[in-house]
Amino acid sequence: MSTVETATEIRPFHIEIPEEQMDDLRRRIAATRLPTKELVEDRSQGVQLATIRELARYWATDYDWRKVEAKLNALPQFTTEIDGVEIHFIHVRSTYENALPLIMTHGWPGSVIELLETVGPLTDPTAHGGEAEDAFDLVLPSVPGYGFSAEPTELGWWAGRVAQAWPELMRRLGYTRYVAQGGDVGAAITDAMGRLAPEGLIGVHTNLFVPALGGTMPTDTEQERAAAEQIAVFRATGFGYFLEMATRPQTIGYALLDSPLALAAWMLDHDTDSYYKISRAFVDGQPSGNLTRDHILDNVTLYWLTGTGASAARSYWESGQATAKSAGQAPPPMNLPFGFTTFPGEIWKTPRSWVEKAYPNVIYFNEVDEGGHFAAWEEPELFSAEIQAAFKSLRNGSS
Amino acid sequence: VSGTVETAVEIRPFHVDIPDEALDDLRRRIAATNWPEKETVADQSQGVPLDMIQKLARHWMIDYDWRKCEANLNALPHFITEIDGLDIHFIHVRSQHEDALPLIVNHGWPGSIIEQLKIIDRLTDPTAHGASAADAFHVVIPSMPGYGFSGKPLSPGWGPERMGQAWGELMKRLGYSRYVAQGGDWGAFVVDQMGLQAPEGLLAIHTNMPATVPADVDKASLAGEPPPSGLSTEERRAYEQLIRTYTQVEYARMMAARPQTLYGIADSPVGLAAWLLDHNDAEGQPATAVVSALDRASSDTGELTRDEVLDNITLYWLTNTGVSASRLYWEYKGGFFNAKGVGIPVAVTVFPGEQYQAPRSWAEQAYPNLIYFNKVDRGGHFAAWEEPELFSAELRAAFRSLRDERRSS
């Protein structure tokens, strides 16, 4: 009996990184041995040396982890064991009584850091120019293997298993009617949750169109052809990191755990839009929205301090294994109310027609004019407004 | 006479002399390695296992002695000469036998000149190894641009085509007017290009990673489609091996897409070691031949040893060439194993551990002027390194017919 209690116990969590770890990080950055400069003037050979040099300089001299540590510790954080893995999460209840519970999941190379600036607008909308009736009770978990969640030591933790853990987390928090949201890996988890349709989940919103990764989409209209072309370019030239992590996470893990700059470069080399935005933030001092040098380094430093480069990469391996096992089988349908927002800088610009084809119950679709792959991170106000708009109809029908 | 021209074609002796500080720094970095947790599988399906790399790292840090390798290297004549704007390092050992056939041998990734050290004496001094003086070679072993002690290109363009041209120029500069070329892995790409370029003086090439796959099979295997109909049992097996290989080359796709992003192989010795170890052969990834060498402290018969594996990794580390070497994958936009249309005489040895077992039927189509084809019963992707005796015997046999021609002419 006491075992059961322990297993479902929710414990407060507080971050306190020892100063020696910060010193060690700075020492390693200072001792970094760099390769020669790339032979091109763009990102086509990878993260440019000038970007990495400036990032290293800023990281070692100006950057202050304690600021984000304080910011995280100002939020209510907890851990609880689910399915054998200790799950870390931020849980901010709105002051508004009728707030809608929302579980929002980060992606790779992200963490809860991506989502921090949405906490205010989503839980306390009136302080951000919104309406009290759009308030959310917000749950931001760290995916197993990422950040302050534990690293799974057994096999099987692909997106579909995380999608089973999140409903248990919401149940444990006492939420019987809630919605879910995610981008990137978080979109895969959220999409899988929607297909599982656990009791209590009443709607989902994503900002990465997951079905396009699993199969071919129609190319009948100009927008569809444009999106298909963007996906083809990504697969042809931007997919290297993805394939490496999906097949050999341990091999790349050695470098990611041992070299701070290897980790930073690996994390910066995501999509073209975000790479250039981040690069400009360092080299030209011109951040795009909330994607500032400090915020970028908050996230990289979190991966470094938690030593999660390999375990996060392994989540791609797990998803690769799951995909291989289910090859040829269509995923279960998603009948829950579904919302989607297309951000202009995303890897491909998902057209409404694709969303309607893949999700029969679309309650919201919008194309906005700012933000990219890390939409919540880059444009937290706009992103929060999208989430509020996406789920508005579900609140009206709730009473 | 312009002094610039003279400087450019000058051939300068080269000596390896790594400062103690570089070796101390390497050991310090290995000792300070921050390790990831253990993989979650009991096999090598997530990459190089933690136990394997930790064991190797311990030996690397404590017992391994780079100075032995350095002394072996310095016992050989090394040179540097500038070709096409870049310093090219090479080993050049002339046979005592006057009629020796000049041979340029090209290493690959994740290799270096270290792969070829054991074949030098066997090829230049065959009588000391039970072979005939008539089979002697003058041996030239260059480091590819971006690899080892060669210069690192500062601008794009140094793919196998340009390297092939550079090797033709190198042989000319050494005064060789009739010579042969050999290669495996990237070296095979380079000798295929040389075969296509057919520079004056190049009599033939030998490849141990032949590019023989017919266009329809190549297309199907790259797309992961079922094989075209009408394949023989042997061709069908080769097709299946190609399919398997294409699931084990994500490292190559990463380097082809984003070599610069691999900052970790410049900054972390263990990160570099894992990256270099994780190359496959027909038996596994990492290559079974290399994995088994990690347990071999020494060998009297030329088998690959742990220290040779570390010699190669340490050479990459000390020259900081992990990233510059990986850029070769970015440079090359052509096919892997597809027939390239080489018309000059070609010799092929098929080693059982190679990516795929090229059937004779394909080799005859791909290389219409096939002067030698042999399947041997041991050795793999790193054939010269794994089986130096057999590999040397293959080169002697492969080029024998050209010598007869030469004598009779």
In three-state secondary structure terms, B407 is helix
Nearest to B46 among A49, A259, A317 (CB): A317
Per the document, the length of chain B is 409
Task: For residue B267, give both structure tokens.
Answer: 């900054």
Nearest to A33 among B156, B266, B330 (CB): B266
Q: What letters, b where the CB count within 10 A reaches 16 and e where it falls short, cover B38-53?
A: ebbeeebebbbbbebb
State residue B150's pLDDT score.
98
A46 and B CB contact within 8 Å: yes
User: How far apart, in whole angstroms, are the C-alpha atoms of residue A217 and residue A358?
Assistant: 9
CB B401 within 8 A of CB B302: no
State residue A1's pLDDT score.
41
State residue B389's pLDDT score.
97
A247 and B CB contact within 8 Å: yes
Per the document, the length of chain A is 399
User: How far apart, in whole angstroms, are the C-alpha atoms of residue B120 and residue B141?
Assistant: 9
Mean pLDDT of chain B: 95
Residue A397: count other Cβ atoms within 10 Å of its Cβ: 10
Nearest to B36 among A40, A237, A307 (CB): A307
Mean pLDDT of chain A: 95
Q: Nearest to residue A260, comparing CAs of A310, A317, A303, A209?
A: A303
State residue A239's pLDDT score.
84
What's the gap in Å between the CA of B332 and the closest CA on chain A? 13
Kindly give, in sequence order, each residue whose CB lies less than 8 Å from that of residue B64, ignoring residues fewer than 6 positions away: B307, B310, B314
B155 and A CB contact within 8 Å: yes
Catalytic residues of A: 184, 316, 373
Task: For residue B125, give both structure tokens.
Answer: 């001094």
Q: Which residues of A, range 138-167, sit inside 8 Å of B by Cβ? A: 151-155
Chain B residues closer than 8 Å to A263 by CB? 264
B110 and A CB contact within 8 Å: no
User: Which among A39, A151, A245 is the top mutation candidate for probing chain B, defined by the most B β-carbons within 10 Å of its own β-carbon?
Assistant: A39
CB B49 within 8 A of CB A251: no
User: How far apart, in whole angstroms, are the C-alpha atoms of residue A266 and residue A109?
Assistant: 9
User: How far apart, in whole angstroms, are the C-alpha atoms of residue A285 and residue A358?
Assistant: 41
Residue ranges of the alpha helices (H) in B113-268?
117-124, 160-173, 186-197, 215-223, 233-246, 250-257, 264-267
Q: Which residues of A, range 262-291, sit inside 8 Å of B by Cβ? A: 262-266, 268-269
User: How far apart, in whole angstroms, are the C-alpha atoms of residue A91 and residue A82?
Assistant: 16
- H-run or E-run covering B18: none
Chain A residues closer than 8 Å to B155 by CB? 39
State residue A329's pLDDT score.
85
State residue B187's pLDDT score.
98
User: How far apart, in whole angstroms, are the C-alpha atoms of residue B241 and residue A282?
Assistant: 46
Looking at chain B, the whole-number percentage of residues with pLDDT higher than 70 is 97
Amino acid (1-letter code) at residue B383: A
User: How far apart, in whole angstroms, are the C-alpha atoms of residue B106 and residue B164?
Assistant: 10
Ranges of residues in chain B with a pLDDT under 70 are 1-8, 404-409
CB B318 within 8 A of CB B66: yes
Q: What are phi and psi of B78, to 5 degrees?
A: -110, 150
Q: Model's pTM, two decimal places?
A: 0.95
Task: For residue B209, give both structure tokens.
Answer: 């990673």
State residue A194's pLDDT score.
98
User: How far apart, in whole angstroms, are the C-alpha atoms of residue A217 and residue A51?
Assistant: 36
Amino acid (1-letter code) at residue A304: W
B52 and A CB contact within 8 Å: no
State residue A391's pLDDT score.
98
Ranges of residues in chain A with a pLDDT under 70 are 1-7, 396-399
B131 and A CB contact within 8 Å: no
State residue B126's pLDDT score.
98
| HEC secondary structure over chain A | CHHHHHHHCCEEECCCCCHHHHHHHHHHHHCCCCCCCCCCCCHHHCCCHHHHHHHHHHHHHCCCHHHHHHHHHCCCEEEEEECCEEEEEEEECCCCCCCEEEEEECCCCCCHHHHHHHHHHHHCHHHHCCCHHHCEEEEEECCCCCCCCCCCCCCCCCHHHHHHHHHHHHHHCCCCCEEEEECCHHHHHHHHHHHHCCCCEEEEEECCCCHHHHCCCCCCCHHHHHHHHHHHHHHHHCCHHHHHHHHCHHHHHHHHHHCHHHHHHHHHCCCHHHHHHHHHHHHCCCCECCECHHHHHHHHHHHHHHCCHHHHHHHHHHHHHHHHHCCCCCCCCCCCCEEEEECCCCCCCCCHHHHHHHCCCEEEEEECCCCCCCHHHHCHHHHHHHHHHHHHHHHHCCC
Side by side, the strands of the sheet bearing A338-342 are A11-13, A77-82, A85-92, A136-141, A100-105, A178-182, A201-206, A338-342, A362-367
